[in-house]
Structure 1
Amino acid sequence: MDFEYSDKMKELQAKVRAFMDEHIYPIEHEWLAHQKDPSTMWTPWPQIEDIKAKAKEAGLWNLFLPKEYGKISPGLTTLEYAPLAEEMGRVMGSSEFFNCSAPDTGNMEVLAKYGTPEQQERWLKPLLDGEIRSAFAMTEPDVASSDATNIETSIIRDGDDYVVNGRKWWISGAMDPRTKVFILLGKTPDADRARHQQHSQILIPADTPGIEIVRPLSVVGSFHGPSGHAEMVFRDVRVPKENLILGEGRGFEVAQGRLGPGRIHHCMRAIGLAQRSLEYMARRVESRVAFGRKLSDQSSIRQDVALSFCEIEQARLLTLKAADAMDRHGNKVAKDLIAAIKIVAPRMAQTVIDRAIQSFGGMGVGPDTPLAAAFVNARHLRIADGPDEVHMSQLGKMKIAKFNDGGPHR
């Protein structure tokens, strides 16, 4: 692959960077304070729609959608989107200003790829326009959801409807008043189908009777309002059969269509977080004096900066390689690289951010820099979209099979 960004990518990077400089960095503290205040955290920040409108006007809208959907997005490849997601990742949550935030991105991809014309008109169009938000309901408290075949929430056909019953948790976006639809993964049991064909995905309007928010869930003490995470119960929730996506037993097929791109988007943003943290650390150690010497003169500090630079570059290059492979060969062929970057990027970010926190001392774990929140986010990513152990197990299995495929031993 060509290691030089194309002129198109450079131009878009400059546009995103300039937009963030003008509209996002100046309001970052106010915006995040609104999200942390118990009296306002479950309501959208009042100025967010104004900034979203400016992003749309600037052509920085739905950047994540791949090139086959160019009529409703700039039509970027995964590789072209990568540095833009990194720029957005420098400020946690800022991708929402560009209509590029999870779980909406994955849900929009699902609806764009697999939705019926009616489903697309009702849900995809307002999501693409940024008029509503959505949630993806998969994880359950009573089973090890890293093995999604364990999912027990039932989706049972009853005449012209499906009836949904089950308990979900860690549902991103469930608390947001703008969330108008859930895509739920549940079990449609059929003894004649294989284990990986027992589940389906279905669209559930958020105002459907029988949906109960049990409680919001904090992530290491932070609620991440207004979208947040929640534990939920679906009790005799009845939706029309037309709300099923693609068909019974095809839930994992749909899931694979959304998880590859979504996982790598998280990695891109994690690299942005790590890069910004390194820059914070470099400025901090140059400006602080301890025991008669600047921190930047200490060999151990220089090593921390050097290692952080190396690790970020390694993760960035691996991410770009994975993105390039996805564009050239498809998500299925690139699954080993997708798994690899999902293992590497959050761990790298957690390590780099931890070093940056250490360089700030007490200030690093407080509210006056974005570092503490960034650390929590990086730690959370090592579980979100599948824990490290699952990706390592799958990747190890793939590589063992590849290196024992009967070819010549050199």
Structure 2
Amino acid sequence: MNNPLEHDAIARSGTPASTAPTASRSQPGWRAAAQRAAAVAAQFANDVDRDARFPAEAVDALRRERLLSAMVPKAFGGPGLGVVEIGAICETLAQACASTAMIYAMHQIEIACIDKYGSSLPWQRALLAKVVEHQLLLASATSEENIGGNLRTSSCAIQIDGARFRIEKLAPTISYGANADGILVTARRTPESPAGDQVLIVVLKAETQLEKRGEWDSMGMRGTCSEGFRLVATGVEQQILPTPFAEIADQTMLPLSHTLWASVWTGVASDAVNRASAFFRAQARSKPGSAPPAGPRLAEAVGLLRMMQARLAAGLEAAQRVHETVDDACRADTPLSAILGFATDMNTLKTSLSNTALQVVQEVLMICGMAGYKNGTEYSVGRHLRDLYSAPLMISNDRIAQNTANLLAVQRSVVSGDN
């Protein structure tokens, strides 16, 4: 059948509506599909948030629209959308439900890792084809008890027995793990390996046991259902990606996390600003001839949002260029200054947009006042604010700032091409 996500010309969205956008036949296929899925997500966003439940209806809509395989290359039956387009989809979904958008972003990051580092293996190629056919949902388990959010170290290790492996991991969080069809798990290469000698393993639901070890009763992002689990999985050796996890993290997982998560935060802030704009217009109509007092705050919020959108657009394009050229030959030819500069750019994009998104919604709350503070109004932004408080914590901004400082210490220049 025809794929509605067949590759279209890249076009970023303008200012979104305060509710989920309405799909139009004139839209590119992937964008119209994202708008239809967002419309479903918007219907259930408050229920998902209130009950801290998985956004099943929205994910089912993503499956119907075949958006879960959006980043799978054409060679495996997918439409092969790029990072810029995936970022635009994340923004659109986030205007409706931040949890749905974050789940979608995380899933696409896992798809990218398998594509770039596992497509030489028949098992991994077959999995990508299955993602397209069955619209499988993938999650990740990179945190570990007693290690926390430091994804560069592992306590658990792969145990190899002939052509098969076994892995057991105590993960404090596996976002939507109970609802995933597969999970990408970090572990030490062997029981004798040091903590930093890690690999990434793709495990499937049929051969994975998840023992729940805690509830997910969080301030925000409640629909991500990031519960803790004891994970025990088995499989064949081709489920282990051959590239060291350190390279996967540096070249793909972290850059895409920073950019796609930032797309989510920008989408949340966009919807909040549109609510503030609607509130401002309603005030102006109620008192013709006088400008509402919140005008300067609205101008400030719009200005901050525009800066976020511009910074995000540049970051997505940079991440797409790197994602398209990740291979051994390109890495060998890339100057160290360019590698350090890209890492610095991705780090600062994450920290700046995660902080600015919060600032934008705080301005919106001051504009809308009690109408924004109360739940259940058309100007409510409590969910937006609570969801965005997760942004500086997802890979701690303090940890990223320290890493950025270390990168800057070895760069000759950070504002010109002469690094």
Q: Deviations over 1:247-281 (max 9, x none)?
A: 6xx12222332231232011122112112211111
Gaps of 5+ in 1: 1-6
- Listed as ranges, the matches of 1:117-196 within 5 Å are 117-121=122-126, 123-129=127-133, 131-145=135-149, 147-176=150-179, 179-189=180-190, 196=196
| Aligned twin of 2:212 | 213
Secondary structure at 2:364 match in 1: helix
Query: Structure 1 residue aligned with 2:242, among 224, 233, 246?
Result: 246
Rounded Cα–Cα distance in structure 2 between residues aligned with 1:109 and 1:21: 23
The code of the aligned residue for 2:56 comes to P
- Listed as ranges, the matches of 1:388-403 within 5 Å are 388-403=397-412
Q: Does 2:262 align with 1:273?
A: no
Using the TM superposition, name which of 80-89 and 8-17 deviates more.
8-17
Check whether the contact 2:266–2:309 (CA below 8 A) recurs between aligned residues: yes
TM-score in terms of structure 2 length: 0.76
Q: CA deviation at 1:222?
A: 6.1
Check whether the contact 1:105–1:262 (CA below 8 A) recurs between aligned residues: no
Rounded Cα–Cα distance in structure 2 between residues aligned with 1:376 and 1:245: 36
Q: Deviations over 1:334-369 (max 9, x none)?
A: 222211110111111111112222333344244325
- Listed as ranges, the matches of 1:105-120 within 5 Å are 105-115=108-118, 116-120=121-125
Check whether the contact 2:45–2:96 (CA below 8 A) recurs between aligned residues: no
| Aligned twin of 1:310 | 303
The code of the aligned residue for 2:382 comes to A
| Aligned twin of 1:3 | none
Q: Does 2:93 align with 1:88?
A: yes
For residues 366 and 156 of structure 1, do their structure 2 counterparts lie closer, same or farther at Cα, with a shift above 3 Å needed? farther
Secondary structure at 1:297 match in 2: coil
Rounded Cα–Cα distance in structure 2 between residues aligned with 1:81 and 1:125: 19
Rounded Cα–Cα distance in structure 2 between residues aligned with 1:316 and 1:397: 27
Check whether the contact 1:285–1:295 (CA below 8 A) recurs between aligned residues: no
Rounded Cα–Cα distance in structure 2 between residues aligned with 1:326 and 1:305: 31
Rounded Cα–Cα distance in structure 1 between residues aligned with 2:33 and 2:408: 42
Q: CA deviation at 1:21?
A: 5.9
The code of the aligned residue for 1:153 comes to C
TM-score in terms of structure 1 length: 0.77
Check whether the contact 2:220–2:387 (CA below 8 A) recurs between aligned residues: no
The code of the aligned residue for 2:166 comes to V
Q: Deviations over 1:77-128 (max 9, x none)?
A: 43455444433332225867xx98132211111221222222331x322323
- Listed as ranges, the matches of 1:9-408 within 5 Å are 9-10=10-11, 14-15=27-28, 24-25=38-39, 27-36=40-49, 38=51, 41-42=53-54, 44-45=56-57, 49=60, 52-53=63-64, 55-56=65-66, 62-64=69-71, 69=74, 72-79=77-84, 81-93=86-98, 101-115=104-118, 116-121=121-126, 123-129=127-133, 131-145=135-149, 147-176=150-179, 179-189=180-190, 196=196, 198-208=197-207, 210-220=209-219, 223-224=222-223, 227-234=224-231, 237-246=233-242, 250-256=244-250, 257-288=252-283, 297-298=292-293, 301-328=294-321, 332=339, 334-368=342-376, 369=378, 371-384=381-394, 386-403=395-412
For residues 220 and 81 of structure 1, do their structure 2 counterparts lie closer, same or farther at Cα, with a shift above 3 Å needed? closer
Rounded Cα–Cα distance in structure 2 between residues aligned with 1:71 and 1:181: 18
Check whether the contact 1:288–1:294 (CA below 8 A) recurs between aligned residues: no
For residues 251 and 365 of structure 1, do their structure 2 counterparts lie closer, same or farther at Cα, with a shift above 3 Å needed? same
Using the TM superposition, name which of 70-79 and 262-271 deviates more.
70-79
Q: Deviations over 1:206-231 (max 9, x none)?
A: 2436531223323216631xx51110
Gaps of 5+ in 2: 1-7, 15-26, 327-338
Q: Deviations over 1:61-89 (max 9, x none)?
A: 74445xx6577444444345544443333
Rounded Cα–Cα distance in structure 2 between residues aligned with 1:294 and 1:18: 39
Report the RMSD for the aligned CA atoms in angstroms: 3.7
Q: CA deviation at 1:24?
A: 3.6
The code of the aligned residue for 1:44 comes to A
Rounded Cα–Cα distance in structure 1 between residues aligned with 2:385 and 2:354: 10
Check whether the contact 1:322–1:334 (CA below 8 A) recurs between aligned residues: no
Check whether the contact 2:166–2:234 (CA below 8 A) recurs between aligned residues: yes
For residues 202 and 294 of structure 1, do their structure 2 counterparts lie closer, same or farther at Cα, with a shift above 3 Å needed? farther
The code of the aligned residue for 1:8 comes to A
Rounded Cα–Cα distance in structure 2 between residues aligned with 1:392 and 1:195: 23
